[in-house]
Structure 1
């Protein structure tokens, strides 16, 4: 996969400052020293400990997004992936001057440690009477860096740092002393572990468009948040449940001499806070699935998740990846800090815009649906209609399912141009579900009405979306028409009348009329030809195929294609994917056997 290298900006050189200005516009309670790129609480409470953090930009909402009451007091921002200088940091210390003292928290990266540390020492030299009012904490939580490799430099600071911000900031809000805030923050920093995984590296705005770092079937485990390579590459991309187990091994294993950073006890005695962090390019859809998978895996290992926090906290620009952080809570024998205090501080409210909503409770374990669902009112037993050729009907259904399954890549390619790229997969999903019912004996030529109702239910429940609804309405109407025909055995004439009736019923729910560049075009052409000549199914199928082909040049009047730039469809001459699906379906249904 390629690196996404396009961005929305005016000028890479002004991006950081303009982003900080935007943040302050969103939250008027924030102030901004533009020259030093320091975001701070404009109305700071002078009787509480101040928290200062920072580092390179590109990790938003870290760090400035966590400035707010109950969290950080100021954040110092460097350029993208570059540490701010000591002058900037000294300015932040001055801006948060207060009666209780200041705690500086930085991630364990050389530039951050040196520049923030230098600023602290310079401040102490300039203000010796206040030297003991500024403390310094370095957080390193990356388990991808083993003990041997990190023997001198230590572990890198990753998303676990955000939990330190939150807990320390909430404690400071209670009026705790600098020593108390530092002590709890230090304890948290020693009991967190993080590991990240990415599908690809990210792109820094203003730099040359990068080439792909990973192959199409590769992922990288242990990537840093500045495009540093990971500890290992894995190919092919494993299923999520397998990947999560690998990541949890790195976080929890006590058998790996290079790791085991969390002193877990096992045997169901461990309680944790879980942070699922989006590194920048993962969809919310996937992130919730990841959260579910991790909770399931931890429960399976006998680890109790006391809090689940999921969202975008510390990114690597647009990196398509995520990280998992575990904070191991104190055991029952610990007295300082108690577990309930840590949880209360995590649950405490904050005005920091970057902190996401959390439930304030332990997550419920993902569960399977109940074995017995509330029953629906039984369907009326209407007229039972048999196919004239029972086996021929069933073979036709099987051919249609196979054809739609094989046509998925072609239809998907069409839909990437004229739609949202899911048409082929939607039809494939429906076809495979129908095929499973056929092979289970739930669809039979002995009861074509029941078969059509089953197909209608598959379309609505398995396919979904617009095409699923249209197919469901059509097949349901087809079943109604055949059931009310009074025929014990469906003839070609019965089928033709039912198809025409189903089309008219479909028209009550869609404005599409041929030519519309939708699946209605071939469906209507088929119904017209079949009604005119029920004995010539082949001719009706040919008319439908011609109508599907004609959508290459038809103007899009309804559906998603209607919102596209008209010239695009004319240049590409791609047929409507929904219409093409109907063509594939009808040609396969007809085949060598008659319905």
Structure 2
């Protein structure tokens, strides 16, 4: 796949400050020090411990969007993927100064550790009376970096850092002492593990267009948040149910000498965790939901109890198409801290733009499901309305379904699905000429459920209106006359017009449908042949009609008209009506 190289910005050099100004518009309680690219709570409570973080930009909402009551007091931002310098950080420490002390939390990257550490020491040299009031916590949660490889530099800091912010920040907001806040931050940092996986690298604004370093079918496990390569590639891209177990093996292993970072017990029911699924920047919410479900299910299969689930963008890598899984292993019985305490700190409400909503209760084993809606079965009516020739009715419907299927791909795949579904109803006896109302209701149900989308809704409304009109004529007559059919169709079209603004000519299925119904009405239902011909002409005419409704009205109308492409929905109506005629 290709790397997305285009961006919305004024100029690359101003992007970080432009973004921080926007953040301050979102949260007016923030104060911006433009010179040092630092945001902080302007009216922070000096009687409470302050939390300061930071690092390179490009990981939003980390770090600045977590500044707010209940999480961070301030954040110092460098350029994209570059640590802020020591003087910026030193000024940040001064800006969050308070009476109780400050805890600095940084991800384990050399630049961040050196510059934030240097700033801490410089601050202590200038303010010796406060030297013991600034403490330093480093988070390295990346399990993709093995113990041998990271023997000197340690593991990289990833999305697990955000959980450290939240837990320590909540304790500080509740009045915890400097040592208490520092100790729980250290505990959280020591009990969190993360692994990332990506479809490709991201592109840094202002740099040369990037080429993909992965083949179209490849993914990479263990990618870092600064475009660092992972520890292995997989090809072809496996389905989630195959990928997720491999990622969880890296997080929970107790036998891998390179990656047994957390003291998982490995026995069902003994390990309890908080689960965080993090969007690295380029994954749709649709996909992220599927990832959450798959990971939660896989953890349950392993007997790991999940107490909380968090999902969303917490620490990105610009627009990287990837995600990461973070597990926070909750305290064991002999730990200094307790699971209820950790969960209460995680659950405490935070007033920061970047913090995502999460349920303050454990996820259920399976989502609560409603009972399936009863299917429309063949109705047992004492005096059902019948077709004049029931055998011919069934043959005509079957012929129409097969014609729609044969016309694919000229029509659409959805019409083919609907055709198959109606044929199934025919074979089950739910559609036949002995009960016209029940048959039409069954067709309406197929249109709604099998087709879906706009066309499915339009068909279903039309057939539901047709069933209503036929029902009103059912009493006193055993069979339906052509004139009654015509009146019912006219009524159904009127019902359809209640819900759509499309009127002929509109380049939609309404064009041939209206032509058929109106022509048939003029003959009181007797001239079916002329009505079908009128519908066919209207469908043909959609090749030359400006789109006034439907998707084509937005972007494709002119092109479709130039290429004389008929509307698929209109063509489907034409095919059905001609086939019913035989």
Q: Secondary structure of 1:151's partner? A: coil
The Cα of 1:268 is off from its aligned counterpart by 1.3
Question: What is the aligned partner in structure 2 of residue 293 from structure 1?
Answer: 294
CA distance in 2, matches of 1:45, 1:93: 15
**Pair 536,343 (structure 1): closer, same or farther in 2 beyond 3 Å:** same
Count of matched residue pairs: 575
**Pair 429,310 (structure 1): closer, same or farther in 2 beyond 3 Å:** farther
**Pair 503,370 (structure 1): closer, same or farther in 2 beyond 3 Å:** closer
CA distance in 1, matches of 2:307, 2:219: 30
Question: What is the aligned partner in structure 2 of residue 313 from structure 1?
Answer: 314
Q: 58-67 or 120-129, which moves further after superposition?
A: 120-129
Question: What is the aligned partner in structure 2 of residue 502 from structure 1?
Answer: 492
**Pair 220,274 (structure 1): closer, same or farther in 2 beyond 3 Å:** same
Q: 244-253 or 186-195, which moves further after superposition?
A: 244-253
Question: What is the aligned partner in structure 2 of residue 587 from structure 1?
Answer: 575
Query: Counterparts in 2 of 1:322-471, with a 5 A limit?
Result: 322-331=323-332, 333-367=333-367, 369-371=369-371, 381=381, 383-386=384-387, 387-389=390-392, 392-393=395-396, 395-400=398-403, 402-403=405-406, 406-407=408-409, 427=415, 430-431=418-419, 433-434=421-422, 436-438=424-426, 442-444=430-432, 447-471=435-459
CA distance in 1, matches of 2:100, 2:442: 71
The Cα of 1:91 is off from its aligned counterpart by 1.0
The Cα of 1:165 is off from its aligned counterpart by 0.3
The Cα of 1:326 is off from its aligned counterpart by 1.0
Deviations 1:336-355 (A, max 9, x none): 11111101110112222211
Alignment of 1:520 onto 2:510: yes
**Pair 257,436 (structure 1): closer, same or farther in 2 beyond 3 Å:** farther
Contact 2:77 2:84 in 1 (8 A): yes
Question: What is the aligned partner in structure 2 of residue 61 from structure 1?
Answer: 61
Q: 472-481 or 154-163, which moves further after superposition?
A: 472-481
CA distance in 2, matches of 1:237, 1:28: 44
Alignment of 1:472 onto 2:460: yes
Query: Counterparts in 2 of 1:103-122, with a 5 A limit?
Result: 103-122=103-122
Deviations 1:120-139 (A, max 9, x none): 23333333443322222211
The Cα of 1:163 is off from its aligned counterpart by 0.1
CA distance in 1, matches of 2:131, 2:264: 37
Contact 2:402 2:419 in 1 (8 A): no
Alignment of 1:188 onto 2:185: no
Question: Which stretches in structure 1 are left out of the alignment for 5+ residues?
Answer: 412-423
Please report the TM-score for the alignment, with normalisation by the length of structure 1.
0.86
CA distance in 2, matches of 1:506, 1:176: 64
Alignment of 1:36 onto 2:45: no
Question: Which stretches in structure 2 are left out of the alignment for 5+ residues?
Answer: none
**Pair 516,594 (structure 1): closer, same or farther in 2 beyond 3 Å:** closer
**Pair 268,373 (structure 1): closer, same or farther in 2 beyond 3 Å:** farther
Q: Secondary structure of 1:581's partner? A: helix
Deviations 1:225-283 (A, max 9, x none): 22223333334443333333333233223343432323222221111111122222233
Q: Secondary structure of 1:164's partner? A: helix
Question: What is the aligned partner in structure 2 of residue 45 from structure 1?
Answer: 45
CA distance in 2, matches of 1:216, 1:495: 55
Question: What is the aligned partner in structure 2 of residue 547 from structure 1?
Answer: 538
Contact 1:400 1:585 in 2 (8 A): no
Q: 38-47 or 156-165, which moves further after superposition?
A: 38-47
Question: What is the aligned partner in structure 2 of residue 557 from structure 1?
Answer: 548
RMSD: 3.4
Deviations 1:104-143 (A, max 9, x none): 1111222212222222233333334433222222111122
The Cα of 1:501 is off from its aligned counterpart by 4.3
CA distance in 2, matches of 1:262, 1:446: 69
CA distance in 2, matches of 1:213, 1:496: 64
